[in-house]
């Protein structure tokens, strides 16, 4: 089917009131190839693509408020579709700029900040002003990255270090840490209903009624005490959890240790991190530091967050992490056939199992050839996929917790759980690519 006929189908689909998300998704698919890096595995736009490019720069919601309603009337839906489709050349060019900036980011060994958050708007601006990038634009990419990152890390981190150099500050935060830790303890509430509800949240929904039911169940699970109680139990009684926090890679020891304010962390897992390391991560990720509290308040908030169940303050984030643990423990990319309980986990597992590098790893393991040390690291990660998966999921939830971004939308949560698996897989691919480049160079 041609792009033109796709567009005609989409125009027909918006002949009645339509959910805003569905209109964006259909319009995006009409663009065709060239926007893969801005798209999810299902072919629709990434959540950040909508948040950072489509809403503010293509649809210009501040000026075109009619596009912001959750359900759109037919005429508005058609107008929105046409607006997105009309920007297809710029969106393809923006995707090409993002590939170039990501490559330059690797060359400059930049690790701070989320690349999508930082670069998506800039890439669209470059697409509008300069068109599709070519080899002659490499210097432009390098200059853009310097402008984005220059001084971002240094200023905030230096302020944090100066604050924590004061012994009185350390003493005050340590007292707060000890008090907050003692305030967290589990109740004897039942956990069964929460895990039963996950069958719906992580299961299929093939009708509007099923989709609505799934959202209702998720709203109930967010309000359930189970995630809090399990996270609190991890402080003292790892044995009462359905899984080991050490085996899934959230902590280096069980029960979880009281974190420290600063100094050397007791391990390299998410729940081992010091308060200072958590604040540094926030400062590195921050897109606009003016929206953050000042460093003293940021440290005080992070002390309470470090002591909260799962190192997260908001109940919806705690619920997402427990849901993510359930998904992660199902994922076994190196297993040619495995039984899974949840439809979403099965979909992720199927996608991972088809990755070329996963198939290659299986062949290596089945043979007698020695494995390159870097590839061995990827094989180890695949064998215990829950560890890199949950490490990345926890980091994203920590960011949402700091920025108070909601996890109340079940579709958004499902997209997050799938996106984390995709991100880990892309990281594996990149490491193998780097290994092959070293071998060729040698």
CA separation for the pair 314, 136 (Å, rounded): 47
Instruction: In the chain, count H helices and then E strands.
Output: 20, 2
133, 174: one domain: no
Beta carbons of 390 and 424 less than 8 angstroms apart: no
Confidence of residue 300 (pLDDT cuts 50, 70, 90): very high
Clarify whether residues 352 and 390 are in a common domain. yes
125 contacts: CB under 8 Å, gap ≥ 6: 57
Q: 417 with 304, same domain?
A: yes
- Rounded to whole angstroms, what are the CA distances from 292 to 75, 142, 162, 297? 40, 28, 18, 9
**Cβ pair 101, 144 in contact under 8 A:** yes
Within 13 Å of residue 205, how many CA atoms lie on the same side as its CB? 18
Query: Looking at the structure, do residues 201 and 286 belong to the same domain, yes or no?
Result: yes
Looking at 253-257, 299-303, 428-432, which range is the least confident one? 428-432
Are 170 and 164 within 8 A, CB to CB?
A: yes
pLDDT at 4: 43
- Cis peptide bond prior to 210, omega within 30° of 0: no
pLDDT value of residue 5 = 42
| Total domains in the fold of the chain | 2
With beta carbons less than 8 A apart as the criterion, state whether 95 and 36 touch.
yes
**Where among 150, 168, 200 does a domain terminate?**
150
Ranges 134-138, 362-366, 375-379, 388-392, most confident: 388-392
DSSP symbol at 89: H
> 304 exposed, middle or buried (CB, 10 Å; 0-12, 13-18, 19+)?
middle
Task: Say whether both 315 and 431 belong to one domain.
Answer: yes
pLDDT tens string 333-385: 888 777 889 999 999 999 988 888 777 777 766 666 666 676 777 777 788 89
Q: Is 14's pLDDT higher than 60?
A: no
Q: Are residues 206 and 81 part of one domain?
A: no
Task: Please name every residue paired with 19 in a beta bridge, in sequence order, or none if there are none.
Answer: 71
pLDDT above 90 as % of the chain: 57
- The secondary structure of residue 19, as a DSSP letter, is E
Same domain, 106 and 227: no
Give SS3 for 271. helix
Domain closes at, from 132, 150, 168: 150
430: which residues sit within 8 A by CB, 6+ positions away?
106
Does residue 271 sit in the same domain as residue 378?
Answer: yes
Give the whole-angstrom CA distance, residue 45 versus residue 81.
14
Whether residue 61 sits in one domain with residue 198: no
Task: Name the token pair of 68.
Answer: 């912001």
Which residue carries 């041609």 as its tokens?
A: 2
Across the strands, what pairs with 45?
A: 39
Instruction: Report the sign of the C-alpha dihedral through residues 83, 85, 88, 89, in that order.
Output: negative
pLDDT attached to residue 18: 85
Please tell me the least confidently modeled range out of 159-168, 336-345, 393-402: 336-345
**Residues 405, 168: Cα–Cα separation, whole Å:** 33
Task: Supply the pLDDT for residue 31.
Answer: 95
Residue ending a domain, choose from 150, 170, 189: 150
Please enumerate in sequence order all residues whose Cβ is within 8 A of that of 277, keeping only pairs 6 or more positions apart, or say none.
Answer: 265
pLDDT exceeds 70 at position 7 = no
| Cβ contact 296:184 at 8 Å | no
Please say if the pLDDT value at position 436 is more than 60: no
Answer yes or no: pTM beyond 0.95: no
Where in the sequence is the domain holding 57, given as residue range(s)?
1-150
Mean pLDDT of all residues in 214-225: 96
Q: Is the per-residue pLDDT at 287 higher than 60?
A: no
* Lowest-confidence segment of 43-47, 288-292, 362-366, 419-423 by average pLDDT: 288-292
121 and 182 housed in the same domain: no
Together in a domain, 235 and 379: yes
Per DSSP, 291 falls in state G
- The token duo for 220 is 């109930």
DSSP assignment of 124-150 equals HHHHHHH-S--GGGHHHHHHHHHHHHT
254 plus 357 within the same structural domain: yes
Q: How far apart are CA 33 and CA 175, in angstroms?
A: 56
Tell whether the model's pLDDT for residue 128 goes beyond 50. yes
Which residue matches tokens 């984390």? 420
């Amino acid at each position: 089917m041609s792009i033109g006929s796709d567009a005609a189908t989409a125009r027909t689909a918006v002949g009645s009131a339509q959910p805003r998300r569905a209109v964006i998704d259909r319009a995006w698919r009409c663009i065709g190839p060239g926007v893969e890096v801005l798209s999810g595995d299902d072919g629709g736009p990434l959540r950040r693509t909508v948040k950072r490019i489509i809403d503010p720069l293509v649809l210009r919601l501040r000026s075109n408020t009619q596009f912001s309603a959750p359900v759109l009337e037919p005429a508005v839906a058609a107008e929105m579709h046409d607006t997105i489709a009309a920007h297809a050349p710029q969106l393809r060019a923006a995707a090409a700029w993002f590939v170039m900036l990501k490559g330059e980011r690797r060359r400059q060994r930049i690790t701070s900040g989320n690349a999508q958050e930082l670069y998506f708007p800039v890439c669209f601006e470059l697409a509008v002003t300069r068109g599709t990038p070519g080899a002659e634009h490499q210097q432009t990419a390098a200059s853009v990255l310097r402008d984005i990152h220059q001084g971002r890390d240094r200023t905030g981190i230096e302020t944090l270090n100066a604050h924590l150099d004061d012994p009185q500050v350390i003493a005050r935060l340590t007292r707060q840490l000890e008090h907050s830790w003692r305030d967290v303890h589990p109740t004897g509430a039942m956990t069964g209903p929460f895990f039963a509800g996950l069958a719906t949240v992580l299961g299929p929904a093939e009708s509007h009624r099923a989709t609505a039911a799934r959202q209702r169940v998720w709203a109930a699970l967010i309000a359930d005490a189970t995630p809090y109680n399990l996270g609190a139990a991890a402080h003292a009684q790892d044995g009462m959890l359905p899984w080991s926090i050490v085996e899934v890679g959230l902590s280096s020891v069980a029960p979880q240790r009281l974190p420290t304010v600063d100094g050397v962390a007791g391990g390299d897992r998410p729940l081992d991190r010091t308060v200072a390391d958590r604040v540094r991560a926030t400062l590195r990720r921050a897109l606009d530091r003016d929206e953050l509290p000042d460093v003293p308040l940021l440290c005080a908030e992070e002390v309470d967050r470090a002591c909260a169940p799962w190192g997260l303050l908001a109940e919806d984030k705690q619920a997402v992490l427990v849901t993510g643990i359930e998904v992660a423990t199902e994922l076994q990319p190196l297993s040619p056939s495995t039984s899974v309980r949840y439809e979403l986990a099965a979909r992720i597992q199927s996608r991972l199992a088809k990755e070329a590098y996963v198939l290659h790893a299986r062949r290596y393991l089945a043979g007698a050839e020695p494995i390159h040390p870097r590839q061995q690291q990827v094989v180890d990660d695949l064998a215990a996929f829950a560890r890199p998966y949950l490490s990345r999921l926890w980091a994203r939830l920590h960011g949402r917790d700091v920025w108070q971004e909601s996890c109340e939308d079940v579709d958004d949560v499902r997209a997050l759980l799938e996106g984390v698996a995709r991100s880990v897989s892309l990281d594996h691919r990149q490491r193998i690519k780097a290994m092959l480049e070293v071998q060729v160079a040698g």
